[in-house]
Structure 1
Amino acid sequence: MPNIDKFIIGFDHALRTLLTPAQTLRPVPGTELPESELNDWEKRQSTALMRVNHVGEICAQALYQGQALTAHDADVQETLAQAAREETEHLAWTERRIAELSGRKSMLNPLWYGGSFAIGALAGMLGDKWNLGFLAETERQVESHLAGHLKRLPHNDGKSRAIVAQMQIDEAGHATTAMSHGGAELPSPVKLMMKLGSNVMTRTAYWV
């Protein structure tokens, strides 16, 4: 496929990610659970954390689009595409939960998307083994971040907790798949920079 076609498809994907409701094939985790009575602080906490998770899924879509654009191998592109499909479901889950909590999504989503797309494209240019290694490390850090959210979410907010728990399982699977397809372990300084960048995003998205 000519590069211009990839750019057109990527631009269309960006618009759909940012402007249209995401869709999910799997049932939303926790749908069967009753809505809990949350006090004002608990509701604000759940809403803020789910907004952070939604931003993470916006970034994931952009990263995978950027990585797929510059990936060399068709199998690598398919691995990225499969991960992106599952991340689209996560996007739908978090978006729906934010609405149920009468919250709002981050006002900086276009900025998060653009920056993540550029990072993903750069990762792909470095070669497929580093591209997959970047995917794996991203998912490991997201898995750790979600574990932290399970500790911070109100214990009686079963719906949000069910969504985050399933997302954590999926992210771990993405990391394993990426490494099994030939991903290389990233140098420690790169992992640290990724973690620092992630911290800036999560702290900002919690409020904005």
Structure 2
Amino acid sequence: MDRFIVEFDKALRTVFAPARSVRPHPDAQQTEADLTAADKQHAAGLMRVNHCGEVCAQALYQGQALTARDPATRAALQEAAHEETEHLAWTEQRLQELGSHKSVLNPLWYVGSLAIGVSAGLVGDKWNLGFLAETERQVGAHLQSHLSQLPDQDAKSRAIVEQMRIDEASHAETATQLGGVELPKPLKDLMQLSSKVMTTLSYRI
């Protein structure tokens, strides 16, 4: 019961409470650009997608850690989740600065991602870690595409996305080193399709 309460508290904090960052925000030394209304709206849409992705990541790692068998695997998942919490704080603050809001669909994405994470953990640690590695690779590619889409003058958003991209690459490498296996292509394709649905909707709402 105690563990259930702790995990439920994590879910509530992720979806509804403001996140906190131990590290300095990557954009702290950057000045706010004079963006057009269209550029600001587009940047906010991209940052909302990134914030939503971090909500999903928290749920995935929570579910995977719950069902992980090996302590090293569980520790790697918990460490990744900790850094993803910082990403939540960075993207949430940036959304506020851009005068925008978080996705109203975040609770839905959280529940779905938690179920996926639990399922990934149940099939075994090597697949659990492989799922983590592939998730981070796809997120890294997604963030790289955002760097090409963000307005050149929006140094604050770009600094956040770049540091997130670096962190995700590190998570993927750690998962591989701990024994994560390559996922089958059909599963990778399914993950990309699911991501496409999430990003399309969260960009708008």
TM-score of the aligned structures, taking structure 2 as reference length: 0.99
Question: What's the counterpart of residue 185 of structure 2?
Answer: 188
Q: Within 5 Å, give how 1:150-161 maps onto structure 2.
A: 150-161=147-158
Report if the CA contact (8 A) 1:6-1:69 is conserved: no
Cα distance in 2 for residues equivalent to 1:69 and 1:6:
10
In structure 2, how many angstroms separate the alpha carbons of the residues matched to 1:165 and 1:33?
A: 13
Tell me the equivalent position of 1:79: 76
Give 1:113's aligned residue. Answer: 110
The aligned length equals 205
Q: Deviations over 1:119-154 (max 9, x none)?
A: 000000000000000000000000000000001101
Deviations 1:94-130 (A, max 9, x none): 0000001110100001001000000000000000000
- Secondary structure of the 2:180 match is coil
Q: Which residue of 2 aligns with 1:31?
A: 28
Which letter does structure 1 place at the counterpart of 2:28? T
Cα displacement string for residues 42-95 of structure 1 (whole angstroms, at most 9, x for unaligned residues): 000000000000000000000000001111111111000000000000000000
1:139 maps to which residue?
136
TM-score by length of 1: 0.97
Give the whole-Å Cα distance in 2 for the aligned partners of 1:43 and 1:147.
Answer: 19
Q: SS at 1:32's partner residue?
A: coil
User: Is 1:96 aligned to residue 93 of structure 2?
Assistant: yes
Please give the alpha-carbon distance, in whole angstroms, between the structure 1 residues aligned to 2:130 and 2:167. Answer: 17
Q: 2:161 aligns with which of 150, 164, 177?
A: 164
Q: Which runs of 4+ in 1 moved over 4 A?
A: none
Structure 2 residues without counterparts, runs of 5 or longer: none
How far residue 6 of structure 1 moved from its aligned partner, in angstroms, is: 3.0
Matched position secondary structure for 2:170? helix
1:68 and 2:86 aligned: no
Q: CA deviation at 1:175?
A: 0.1
